[in-house]
Amino acid sequence: LLYYGENTVLQDLMPFRGFQSSMDYKMTIGLGQTEMLDSIRIIWPDDRTQKLEKTEANQFLTFAHSDTLPKYTPPKPEAIVPLIKEVGNTRLIAHEENNYNDFDYEGMIYNLLSQEGPALAVGDINGDGNEDIFIGGAKDQPGIIYQHLGKGQLKTIEQRAFETDMNFEDTAAAFLDADGDGDMDLIVGSGGNQVGDENTYRARLYLNDGRGYFTRSAEQLPTTFKNISVISPEDFDGDGDMDVFIGSRSVVGTYGVNPDHLFLENDGNGSFTNSAERLAYDLKDEGMVTDATWADMDGDGKKDLLTVSEWGTPKIYRNSGRRLSKLPSSLDSLSGWWNVVKAADLDNDGDQDLILGNQGTNLHYKPSPEDPMKIWINDFDNNGTIEQIVTQQVGDKDYPIHQKKELTNQMVALKKQNLKASDYARRSIDQLFPEEIFSMSIVKEAAFAESIIAINEGDGNFSIQVLPSRVQLSCVCGISCVDINEDGYLDLIMGGNNFEYKPQFSRLDASYGNVLLNDGKMGFTWQDYNQSGFFVKAEIKHLESFADKSGNRFVMAAINDDKPKIFALDD
């Protein structure tokens, strides 16, 4: 151990290798421009130690072991009080993902779309002042209502309606007062990518009896039979009832094609009409939505709709009080694989900033504005089935990332080209298909992989701040904005991971959760796990904060194929 100034250098010497072999016992340590060391400490394998004070650099030193040397006693580490603490709760039930392999039906997609649950929603369902929890089930597993007893302790409330609807896969949910009776009702969206079950891809409205027991509404909500990704309620037109945006991520069995989205207008009695074409016409071009939220982005007192999508850009739809219209912004150039968006005033300047979760930079491929990833959607072999080809741009050419066998198995006509693997590796997509087919493709791109903060500068302009490198080690799928250390500035809790990539692309599993403290100057410092107390080695799909009637704050992590976890923000 070498100490100089505020620096510490540690080197281990282990000269042994194989049988009767060794290595040089000399160690070379570079110190840059440093000329004097404060001290050097040698610790031998038997914990004997010796120490030199005030030692000059640029010299060769020799040390010898002796049984007379004193034993080394390491300093006791200072007790670390974590910022948040996990709450033990034996009543939590594990989400159990059903076994379904999308790749058997869509061989060209690169990750599963059927494992996006569980859904998570927070709301006070019985009016006792404690915020309660809904967690959705996978296919053939009912959703669960957890009543919050206070201090983060939960108990399940049996819901027969959820048992009846357990054939749905719950991928999105939100509490709202749908029928204007003063209690929290629930809308649950169904998703996944299971071919043949299209009738289960719908949103369901459950009405609350005021005591926290739910029954399925007899009125069917409008549906598009698509893979629902988000349900976001808001009183869009200020008439006193809650309207709902329902976004979809994909068309079942046809990845890449834009799904339809719903904008449900409430008549005040819990009856909803899809008014997307009349009130939100611009949503027709929205793309593959993964998340959405409402926030007043232009300071006019009305909340606007914010969306993010896969193979798309973050978008703002301005609310005029009569309709939603696409608002041009500097975010329109940030194409990526966005997973989540949150709006919060991070710099306390009175406007709403954005926190945007992306796939991160720890990917097999590295998109950039100069060399973006692209997805080409077309019936390339004219067999009536839509295929998707993903490419990486290199220079002015786009090269497929798929293995040759994947491409030829999906498009048998390519076998006639008798390509060797080495030839295929050098073929760009325009060299694999005739111009008349290639040019008819729908093309989307992703040029930006980092998770970011977008600081609102007004008039649709944002300054972009890339989050710390530890956040970029994996995707971000859940974000909670809370003032952890109660300094008056909102901090960030983030989680993610995606285990569903094809083996050749490697799964995203390097995140154990992230806590970032806001210094008040838009500097966000990543906290070590011992310091943060937030350590989740799993696939987090959603993060939501909730509280009890005493003001104690908590965060729940909804985890795919595992039990949820609860963390307390207050002692």
| pLDDT value for 320 | 96
Please report the beta strands in 335-460, taking only residues with DSSP state E, as ranges in sequence order.
336-337, 340-344, 353-357, 373-378, 387-394, 397-400, 442-446, 452-458
**Tokens 């719903």, residue?**
262
User: What percent of the chain stands above pLDDT 90?
Assistant: 85
| pLDDT value for 197 | 72
Q: Which residue has the higher pLDDT, 19 or 241?
A: 241
User: Could you write out the three-class secondary structure of 427-495?
Assistant: CCHHHHCCHHHHCCCEEEEECECCCEEEEEEECCEEEEEECCCCHHHCCEEEEEEECCCCCCCCEEEEE
Question: Which of 215-224, 405-414, 544-553 has the highest average model confidence (pLDDT)?
Answer: 544-553
Residue 128: CA count within 13 A, CB half-sphere: 12
Mean pLDDT of 434-448: 93
Region of poorest pLDDT, from 290-294, 424-428, 525-529: 424-428
Query: Does the structure show a pLDDT above 90 at 18?
Result: no
17, containing H or E segment = none
The pLDDT-based confidence of 268 (bands split at 50, 70, 90) is confident
Q: Which residue has the higher pLDDT, 482 or 219?
A: 482
Residues 65-81 have pLDDT tens digits of: 998 999 999 888 888 89
| pLDDT value for 150 | 95
Mean pLDDT of 437-455: 96
Q: Please answer whether residues 246 and 188 qualify as being in contact, where contact means their C-beta atoms are separated by less than 8 angstroms.
A: no
User: What percent of the chain stands above pLDDT 70?
Assistant: 100
Query: Does the structure show a pLDDT above 80 at 543?
Result: yes
Residues 418-427 have pLDDT tens digits of: 788 899 999 9
Query: Does the structure show a pLDDT above 90 at 309?
Result: yes
Q: Please answer whether residues 536 and 141 qualify as being in contact, where contact means their C-beta atoms are separated by less than 8 angstroms.
A: no
CATH number 2.60.40.1080 is the correct assignment for the domain at 85-365+447-568: no
**Ramachandran angles phi, psi of 25, nearest 5°:** -85, 0
| pLDDT value for 332 | 97
Query: Does the structure show a pLDDT above 90 at 24?
Result: no
**Ramachandran angles phi, psi of 314, nearest 5°:** -65, 140
User: Could you write out the three-class secondary structure of 21-33?
Assistant: CCCCCCCCCCCCC
| pLDDT value for 341 | 99
The pLDDT-based confidence of 367 (bands split at 50, 70, 90) is very high
Residues 134-192 have pLDDT tens digits of: 999 999 999 999 999 999 999 999 999 999 999 999 999 999 999 999 999 999 999 99
Buried b (16+ CB within 10 A) or exposed e, 440-472: ebeebbbbbbbbbbbbbeeebebebbebeebbb
3-class SS of residue 335: coil
Buried b (16+ CB within 10 A) or exposed e, 169-208: bbbbbbbbbbbeeebbbbbbbbbbbbeebeebbbbbbbbb
What is the DSSP track for 514-555? EEEEE-SSS-EEEPPHHHH-----S-EEEEEEEE-TT--EEE
| pLDDT value for 571 | 75
164, containing H or E segment = helix 160-164
Within 10 angstroms of residue 545's Cβ, the number of other Cβ atoms is: 16
| pLDDT value for 457 | 96
| pLDDT value for 76 | 85
Residue type, 312: G
Mean pLDDT of 238-265: 96
Q: pTM for the full model?
A: 0.89
Average pLDDT, the chain: 95
| pLDDT value for 17 | 78
DSSP state of 284: G
C-alpha triplet 159, 162, 164: angle, nearest 5°: 115
| pLDDT value for 198 | 75
Residues 189-205 have pLDDT tens digits of: 999 999 877 788 999 99
Q: Quick one: which of 126, 266, 145, 272 has its CA closest to 209?
A: 126
**Ramachandran angles phi, psi of 490, nearest 5°:** -75, 130
Residues 84-123 have pLDDT tens digits of: 999 987 789 999 999 999 999 999 999 999 999 999 999 9
CA atoms of 126 and 348, how far apart (whole Å) = 34
**Tokens 């008349």, residue?**
436
Query: Does the structure show a pLDDT above 80 at 10?
Result: yes
Residues 466-495 have pLDDT tens digits of: 999 999 999 999 999 999 999 999 999 999
Q: Please answer whether residues 262 and 274 qualify as being in contact, where contact means their C-beta atoms are separated by less than 8 angstroms.
A: yes
CA atoms of 198 and 204, how far apart (whole Å) = 14
CA atoms of 205 and 382, how far apart (whole Å) = 41
CA atoms of 492 and 513, how far apart (whole Å) = 11
Mean pLDDT of 538-547: 98
Q: How far is CA 41 from CA 45, 47, 71, 307, 412, in A?
A: 13, 12, 12, 56, 68
